[in-house]
Amino acid sequence: MKTAEIARRYLSYFEKNGHTIVPSASLVSDDPALLFTVAGMVPFIPYLRGDVPAPYVRVADSQKCLRTNDIEEVGKTPRHGTFFQMLGNWSFGDYFKEGAIAYAWELLTSSEEDGGLGFDPKDLWVTVYEEDDEAHDLWLRLTTLPEERIQRLGKDTNYWSTGLPGPAGPCSEIFFDRGPAYGIDGGPATDDDRYVEIWNLVFMEYEITDVTSKTDFTIVGELPAKNIDTGLGLERIAFIKQGVDNMYETDQVRPVLDRAVALSGKAYGADHTDDVRFRVIADHVRSSLMLLADGVTPSNEGRGYILRRLMRRAVRAMRLLGVDGPTFPELFTASRDAMKEAYPEVADDWQRISQYAIAEEETFLRTLASGSTILDLALDETKRSGGTALAGAEAFLLHDTYGFPIDLTLEVAEEAGLSVDRDAFDTLMKEQRERAKADARSRKRAIADVSVYRALRAQGETVFTGYTDLETESSVLGLLVDGQSVTRAGQGQIAEVILAETSLYAESGGQVADKGIIVGPGFELDVLDVQRPVAGLVSHTVEVRSGEVGVGQPATSVVDAVNRRAARQAHSATHLVHAALRDTLGRSATQAGSLNRAGYLRFDFTWGQGLSEATRTEIEEIANNAVRDNLEVTTRTMSLTEAKELGAMALFGEKYGDTVRMVDIGGPWSRELCAGTHVSSSAEVGLINLVGESSVGASNRRVEALVGLDAFRELAAERAIVSQLTSSLKTPRDQLPARIAELAANLKAAEKKIAQFEAKALGDRLPALAETAQRVGAMRVVAQSLGTAASADDIRTLALQLRDRLGADAAVVALAADVNGRPVVIIATNEAARAAGAKAGALVKTAASILGGGGGGRDDVAQGGGTDVSALPAALSAIAGALEGAAA
């Protein structure tokens, strides 16, 4: 039974049993405490917790999930994967334990002919929370399970939460017994791979806080309603129904594994270590594909870092299988073909996805090449110094700074006949993880407790009237001060105000919040920010300018009309620039983030190289032509399906419900899903002036533009500068570039002549400097300050010439100078001096420590510097002292 068919049967069964079927939410979680959707319940947390009224009483879905906390187990067990799909059925205050158990048992044990999954009851075991007598008794009454196949387990396995404050409750898990060939008898309590957990029924009853571990938390009370949250592991059901040993061999994953086998020339099943690598590749490529499809891009922080880590682990595994060249074009294609039946978007958006994947692999292969060079130098230095193990700090630097994997460091070191100080490396890694955990804990603690909005949201959604009205009369539904509900707020206080209706736009879709005021009888409030803390609820952060505001009072929201007009111009201009980019660069130039505020827009898009000046001009001209043509701007509300059929583009990072708002500018030329405020015709935008284009990561570019009056002011300022230049240089405007280039060339030539004169002047000092040589033991030493010098290179040249002038006897030259206000010391030693123990690198560190800086180099020549020019004489004296000590 194919994976997609299992999901179809599941959803069909629950649809027949009164459940609303909803699509999967994005892997990018809305919860600010989570990077990803780590479990099927995450999108439903606001409903489970009661913060937002659920739009349905029972629902079922197939949810994309991603977890990396067990990443080291991937490939080693039959069930650990980073990307997985969770089939779930949910009840929000409707059926509870009895209904959940009855549904699960019927679907699992009904025959395939009747639409079920066809499991034999004799192969199933169940666990319940040790204190949950009700669940235990229901399993006995509703199913054919004997007492001995219902096991009671503790909180660590049978009490479920996200690991964060929020909903939780006891759970009951269903296991499939793979048979004695896979392990020992004794049921799930043995924690053996023989028993595969396939379905978890969570009975959400409580809200928890103070979460420090899976078993250490505080129950703060019952949820407003008892809820059901279940999760059926799609990959686990698939490998059982398909008769394979693990999830990596199922129909959605195996094609990638097979392609890796073909590329490596090695056999799957012949070597355990290689098999683990094949499975890692299959899992990580699929996970990366799905993350890219949901808009995540490789980077060095947050979600992008996790994606980068997955992709680089796959590259590393291919390398350890003997493949050094690019493999992603083939591996990702295999994954796309395996996943597109369930997720058509991986094929529809293939050009963008593959562009990121290929670019990331190319980058990492270059990293491996440069890391290998750095590692080779470090290994050579270790051997030269007589060491037998590469320092743990060196290995950690390669891993942390250059992204060079530790296992490759171990492998290369072993080939060089050296070991690695793994204990020191592991200590540094542990310290880094502890810092990361501390940051994560701090971030979790910083997340606002949204339960305070629960009662306010229960009164209904905040009605936004701002598309048509700049002023709206309403009433104060709630007030919050320092996160606590209050009845009144007085002059000077910062508070959150919840209104029944508002004309003020809450930040979303790249558009910043409106500016404005809220007024009522005896009070006036300055609006500092407008946000949606929970879905459907708008909160206004205000400062009470005068009077006192109270719950229940009438209040009128007033939008700053000038700021709103400029914000509308910028948002509509963003759509025009997006359309112009696609006209110029093609459909693969899609949005990857945006920001628009009054007079300014920033637009990120997928593209692998910088834009030429001609291309930028063309994009700017197309966008301004659209302004000139006075295109009609229309908005329509429709179903998401209908909007997609009409070709509307969804904006990066936005979440859409079943009903969406589509904005057209010039009909289909610019057609996007957008909840922002817009002009009524493109001519109202006024003017678009592209002022910047830059890189924001691999395969991502950013354009910035000023809009409307701000664009005019920028052009006027540039005109004033041009006018000043034409006047100062007495050159017509059209000849300015040539005149400025001529002046720059003359300046460069003059600087070159000055440098030549200075270098000659230094060279002329050679005889006099040689005369200053002093005997220190068997060595001749010159330690002199040159005063000022144009560059460190000039000092280095002079030091080497002076060393050669002193002949074959042991000689050390230490020259210092003030270079552009900073002290520089160059030390050069000849072969005889080095044999006598004078090493330039060590000597320069002595000097640099006095100068308040650092330095280094080879034994024959080294350079140091610092911040204290006045300390140059002391630094030179320290060098002489060090040589005297060595001579003694």
Q: Which CATH number fits the domain that encloses residue 214?
A: 3.30.930.10
Q: 375 in a domain, yes or no?
A: no
**What pLDDT is attached to residue 445?**
41
Looking at the fold, whether 523 and 435 belong to one and the same domain comes out as no
> Contact 10/62 with Cβ under 8 angstroms?
yes
| Report for 375-379, 411-415, 457-461, 580-584: range of highest mean pLDDT | 580-584
Q: Which CATH number fits the domain that encloses residue 872?
A: 3.10.310.40
User: Of the given ranges (192-196, 254-258, 369-373), which has the lowest mean pLDDT?
Assistant: 369-373
**What pLDDT is attached to residue 439?**
57
Looking at the fold, whether 642 and 508 belong to one and the same domain comes out as no
Looking at the fold, whether 679 and 704 belong to one and the same domain comes out as yes
**What pLDDT is attached to residue 212?**
84
**What pLDDT is attached to residue 448?**
45
What is the three-class DSSP state of 109?
helix
Smallest CA-to-CA distance from 338 within 262, 254, 259 is with: 254
Question: 320 is written with which tokens?
Answer: 């350890």
How many Å apart are CA 146 and CA 140, to the nearest integer?
7
Q: List, as residue ranges, the binding site for Zn(2+).
A: 571, 575, 674, 678
User: What average pLDDT does the chain have?
Assistant: 89
Q: Which of 193, 221, 249 is the last residue of a domain?
A: 249
Q: 744 in a domain, yes or no?
A: no
Question: Which residues have C-beta within 8 Å of that of residue 229, sequence separation ≥ 6?
Answer: 40, 41, 44, 48, 88, 90, 160, 167, 202, 204
Q: 847 in a domain, yes or no?
A: yes
Average pLDDT over residues 29-45: 84
Q: 759 in a domain, yes or no?
A: no
User: Of the given ranges (196-200, 252-256, 626-630, 638-642), which has the lowest mean pLDDT?
Assistant: 638-642
Q: 480 in a domain, yes or no?
A: yes
How many Å apart are CA 395 and CA 404, to the nearest integer?
9
- Cβ-in-10-Å burial (0-12, 13-18, 19+) of 213 comes to exposed
Average pLDDT over residues 9-14: 96
**What pLDDT is attached to residue 515?**
97
Looking at the fold, whether 93 and 168 belong to one and the same domain comes out as yes
Looking at the fold, whether 607 and 579 belong to one and the same domain comes out as yes
Report DSSP letters for 548-608, one per residue. EEETT-EEEEEE-HHHHHHHHHHHHHHHHHHHHHHHHH-TT--EEEEEEETTEEEEEEE-S
Average pLDDT over residues 694-706: 85
Q: Which CATH number fits the domain that encloses residue 671?
A: 3.30.980.10
Reply yes or no on whether the pLDDT at 406 is more than 60. Answer: yes
Domains identified in the chain, total number: 6
How many Å apart are CA 786 and CA 816, to the nearest integer?
6
pLDDT tens-digit profile of 800-827? 999 988 888 899 999 999 998 899 999 9
Looking at the fold, whether 547 and 571 belong to one and the same domain comes out as no
**What pLDDT is attached to residue 444?**
44
Looking at the fold, whether 574 and 679 belong to one and the same domain comes out as yes
Average pLDDT over residues 256-261: 96
Average pLDDT over residues 171-179: 95
Reply yes or no on whether the pLDDT at 697 is more than 90. Answer: no
In sequence order, what E strands does 679-753 have?
688-695, 700-707
Reply yes or no on whether the pLDDT at 655 is more than 80. Answer: no
Reply yes or no on whether the pLDDT at 403 is more than 80. Answer: no
**What pLDDT is attached to residue 698?**
63
Percent of the chain with pLDDT over 90: 57
> Contact 326/382 with Cβ under 8 angstroms?
no
Average pLDDT over residues 647-675: 82
pLDDT tens-digit profile of 566-576? 999 999 999 99
How many Å apart are CA 65 and CA 180, to the nearest integer?
31
Burial 495-513 (b: 16+ CB within 10 A, else e): bbbbbbbbbbbbebbbbbb
How many Å apart are CA 88 and CA 201, to the nearest integer?
9
Q: Which of 249, 267, 288 is the last residue of a domain?
A: 249
pLDDT tens-digit profile of 68-77? 887 888 888 8
Give the residue numbers spanning the domain of 504: 450-559
Average pLDDT over residues 126-155: 95
Q: 123 in a domain, yes or no?
A: yes
Reply yes or no on whether the pLDDT at 828 is more than 90. Answer: yes
**Distances in whole angstroms, Cα of residue 656 to Cα of each of 7, 641, 837:** 23, 11, 72
Kindly report the backbone phi and psi dihedral angles of residue 472, in degrees, each rounded to the nearest multiple of 5, phi listed first.
-140, 125
Looking at the fold, whether 34 and 64 belong to one and the same domain comes out as yes
pLDDT tens-digit profile of 306-320? 998 899 889 989 988
Q: Which of 539, 559, 579 is the last residue of a domain?
A: 559
Reply yes or no on whether the pLDDT at 652 is more than 70. Answer: no
Reply yes or no on whether the pLDDT at 653 is more than 60. Answer: no
Looking at the fold, whether 272 and 140 belong to one and the same domain comes out as no
End-to-end Cα, the chain, rounded Å: 85
**What pLDDT is attached to residue 596?**
94
Reply yes or no on whether the pLDDT at 474 is more than 90. Answer: yes
Q: pLDDT band at residue 446, thresholds of 50, 70 and 90?
A: very low
Q: 519 in a domain, yes or no?
A: yes
pLDDT tens-digit profile of 288-308? 999 999 988 888 778 888 998
Q: Which CATH number fits the domain that encloses residue 535?
A: 2.40.30.130
Q: Which amino acid is at 568?
A: R
How many Å apart are CA 624 and CA 690, to the nearest integer?
10
**What pLDDT is attached to residue 299?**
82
Looking at the fold, whether 883 and 824 belong to one and the same domain comes out as yes
Looking at the fold, whether 240 and 264 belong to one and the same domain comes out as no
Q: List, as residue ranges, the binding site.
A: 571, 575, 674, 678
Query: What sign results for the dihedral spanned by CA atoms 214, 286, 253, 399?
Result: negative
User: Of the given ranges (347-361, 418-432, 635-649, 755-769), which has the lowest mean pLDDT?
Assistant: 755-769
Q: 721 in a domain, yes or no?
A: no
Looking at the fold, whether 321 and 406 belong to one and the same domain comes out as no
> Contact 578/624 with Cβ under 8 angstroms?
no
**What pLDDT is attached to residue 443?**
43
How many Å apart are CA 390 and CA 56, to the nearest integer?
61
Average pLDDT over residues 444-462: 71
In sequence order, what E strands does 99-194 have?
124-129, 150-153, 159-160, 166-177
Average pLDDT over residues 452-473: 91
